[in-house]
Every structure is written in structure tokens, then in C-alpha cells.
Structure 1
Amino acid sequence: MRIKQSDFIISAVQRHQYPIDNRVEIAFVGRSNVGKSSLINSLTNRKKLAKVSQTPGKTRLVNFFLINNDFHLVDLPGYGYAKVSKKEKESWGRTVEMYLTGREELKRVVLLVDSRHKPTEDDILMHTWIKHFGYDVTIVATKSDKLTKNNLKKSEVIIRETLKLTQEDKLYFFSSLTKKGKDELIDNLFLDLATDID
């Protein structure tokens, strides 16, 4: 499919601010600085659709974007920033849990991990959390341009073992810099959920 249109809808703080148009939602989540905003901007061909926070770990908003006037892409707050206080971490947890709990429109969660590093305890917890809520989860390993082919294979083994993925679990490597495999990734993330397919 082709993403022809992408529009910012709202930055929500409370549940009552979420869109209520019954469109399917696909949420993106990952550590601060994992490249979430860059990935969203790459997939939508918009340089500044998802804004990069100047202060990692500070965002506490759930951002909704309308794609092809068909479904919502949801950008969840980044986690795991070392300088964030315990209170702020709890705030992040409440924000994400509030969104994940009983959100019927949410059909898939895309968990971003850094391809150069072993998934962190926060990544493992997030993956477990998504599974606990019963959502379909896809893993995208970012910044893959930094690795050689040999190291990409090693990274895949480490990610699958650390997150306890099966061979059926979906794992994709992507670089927002080279955009290699972008069309394939778009199809795998969105095609079976979108109703207006080109």
C-alpha cells in the first residue's frame, strides 16, 4: 500500500481526548532515542510529522496521526531515559497503561528496539506488557545501517532470544537513513489492517 496522506490529529493526555471515530489504531512504542519519530516520519514521507523531543523522556502525550483518512498511527511516549525521576517513570507508565487498557480500536503495537544493542529490561517489560494485554506485536529493530550483514544476523539472534520470540513472531530491521525495505515494512505493518488499499 502507499501512504498518500498523513495528518496530526491530537496530543492526548486523558482518555476522553482520544479519537472516537472507530478507526483502527496501530501504536508505536520504544525507548527514548530509539528512533521512533524518525521511523514514523520515514514511513509517512513527512520530515516533521512526528516531532523529536529536545528533552528525551519528557513527553507524556499520546499522539494520534490519521493515515490515508483510513486508520490512526499512535505515537506513545518514549521510555527508559536514565535521567527521568521515579515519579516521571510512574507517570509514563500510567499514560501508556491508560491507553493500552481496553482500547478496542488498537489492533497492533509496534515495539522498537535498537539493533545495535541487546534489548533492555524496559524493552522486555514492554514486550511482556503488550502480550499481557493481548495485542498483536511487531518488533522493528532500528538503526540497522550501523551494522554489517554478519552483525545483523547476530543481532537478530540476540533480540529473538532476549524477548523470547518464536520464529512466527515478526521482527524487521530498518534504517531511517537508508530507508531500505520501507515499502515491505509498510505492507507488513499496515496492509492487513487498512480498508482503503492501493
Structure 2
Amino acid sequence: MQTINSATLNQAQFVCSAHTHLEWPIDSGSEIAVAGRSNVGKSSAINAITGRTGLARTSKTPGRTRQIVFFDLTPDHRLVDLPGYGFARTTRELQQHWQKTINRYFSTRQALRGLVLPIDIRRGLMAMDQEMLNWCCHHALPVHLLLTKRDKLSRSAAQNTLRTVQKQLVESPLFSAQLFSATKKEGVEEARAKIVQLLMSEPRPVNN
């Protein structure tokens, strides 16, 4: 597998949108997924990290991402945009479909090396975020949290929130967190470095 660096993320190219596992790209190489509650700035974070405005569609309608979207970084590395969770304007049937699909993705995808989890710094970790963390811990999946919209708080308030979240994560060495603002481009290089680190990490055991 070829060596990559932060600049590799600028090469992100859309590959496909998948509604079921049958449409996923071949399970080879390594990939990092991005997930999060609706309206936390997930798409904006992806665009800032890749330096590609418009790569991930942003919308004022929460939960707009309804498929798993795959982006190639190199022939061996991918970035994956997962559907936002917790959105209300979706049928129960579709929510159940996505729960099963994402559970399958986490538990069987050999290429998956880690998850980037944006959370709104003004809200902190919510119940659904904690559920996602528990899920990832169960699947031995590293998670890097982005405390998005840092610019909405003062620096001291943002640091206090970061410390609070880090204390909540202390029980698992798989989890880490940082401050992030897509608008001000704060924390972008730190996030890129973490993603590269995860992409180059060893595969975890999965259920095939």
C-alpha cells in the first residue's frame, strides 16, 4: 500500500453512492468513515478536510445524506460519508434499514480503519453520540471526535468543553478529540494528520 500524507486528502474524488452493501466498492485497501448526528456540520467538515468545497453536499435540511458515499483518495485509500443519524424527516422503515446497513458496515468491512465523529461543541456528547461510541468500542473501531463550530464559543469555553469530552472518553484508548471549525479552518491540519494516521494503521479483526 502506498505512503500517503495530508496532501493526499486534496485528491478526494467521488466514487459512488451505495444504498445497500451490494453497491459498496471492493473491500480492499483502507478507508475512514465520517458519521454524526444531523446538523452538526458533517458535510462542511468533510469539505474543509479535503479542501474541496462542494465535495460533500451541505444542506439546511438535517439528514440529507441518505446513502453511504465513497470517495477515493488514492487507489488504496478512501473517505466514506455515512448517513447522518437522528434526523426526524425519515420513515421508521428507512431508519431501520440504515441501522442494519451501518451495523453490517462496521462489523464486516475489513478496509475500515476508523471513524471521524463530528459533534456540535455547543451540545457536547449526546445520547446518540454515546451510543455510536459504544458501538464502535464493541467493534474495536478507533474514533476521532471533531468538536465542530468552535467559532460559536469563546476559546476558554471551547477548551472547557474539550476537556469535559476528553474526560468522558478516558475509558477507551481508541477515542480522541479535538476542536474544529470548518468556517475558520481551525483544526483542519490536526484532523487531516489524524485521518492519515488511521488510514495507515493495521486492520482490525472483523466478522466475515
- Give TM class, smaller chain: 0.7 to 0.9
For residue 96 of structure 1, report the CA deviation from its aligned partner.
1.4
1:49 maps onto 2:55 in alignment:
yes
1:154-178: CA deviation from partner (whole Å, max 9, x where unpaired): 21133234x4434953111110011
Q: Which has the higher helix share?
A: 2
Structure 2 counterpart of 1:41, one-letter code: N
Q: How much does 1:70 deviate?
A: 3.7
In the other structure, the counterpart of 1:187 is 193
The alignment of Structure 1 onto Structure 2 pairs a total of residues equal to 194
The alignment partner of 1:51 has SS state of: coil
Q: Is it true that 1:66 corresponds to 2:59 in the alignment?
A: no
Residues 160 and 166 of structure 1 are in contact (CA less than 8 Å); yes or no, is this contact kept in structure 2? no
- Corresponding residue number in structure 2 for 1:31: 37
SS of the aligned residue for 1:101 comes to: helix
Answering whether residue 183 of structure 2 is matched by residue 177 of structure 1, we say: yes
Task: Kindly report which structure 2 residues correspond to 1:103-182, keeping only aligned pairs within 5 A, or say none.
Answer: 103-161=109-167, 163-166=168-171, 168=173, 169-182=175-188
**Pairwise CA distance, 1:83:** 4.4
Amino acid at match of 2:135: W
Which aligned segments of 4 or more residues in structure 1 are displaced greater than 6 angstroms?
none
Contact 1:108 1:135 in 2 (8 A): yes
* TM-score of the aligned structures, taking structure 2 as reference length: 0.84
1:100 deviates by: 1.1
Contact 1:53/1:59 (8 A) holds in 2: no
- Distance across 2 between alignment mates of 1:106 and 1:124: 20
Shift of 1:192: 5.2
- In structure 2, the CA distance between the partners of 1:9 and 1:146, relative to structure 1 (3 Å rule), is same
- Percent sequence identity over aligned pairs: 35
Cα distance change of structure 1 residues 170 and 75 upon mapping to structure 2, 3 Å threshold: same
Deviations for 1:129-156, whole angstroms, at most 9, x for unmatched residues? 1111111111111111111121012211
Alignment RMSD: 2.1
Q: Which moved more, 1:50-59 or 1:94-103?
A: 50-59
SS at structure 2 position matched to 1:176: coil
TM-score (structure 1 length as normaliser): 0.88
Match of 1:19 in 2: 25
Any unmatched runs of 5+ in structure 2? 202-208
Does the CA-based 8 Å contact 2:27-2:110 persist in structure 1?
A: no
Q: Is the 8 A contact 1:116 1:147 kept in 2?
A: yes
Residue by residue, what CA displacement relative to the aligned partner does 1:1-58 show, whole Å, maximum 9, x if unpaired? 3134110001011112111161201000000111111011111111111112464235
Map of 1:92 onto structure 2: 98
| Deviation larger for 90-99 or 117-126 | 90-99
Q: Distance in 2 between matches of 1:180 and 1:55?
A: 25
Does the CA-based 8 Å contact 1:140-1:174 persist in structure 2? yes
Q: Is the 8 A contact 2:169 2:176 kept in 1?
A: no
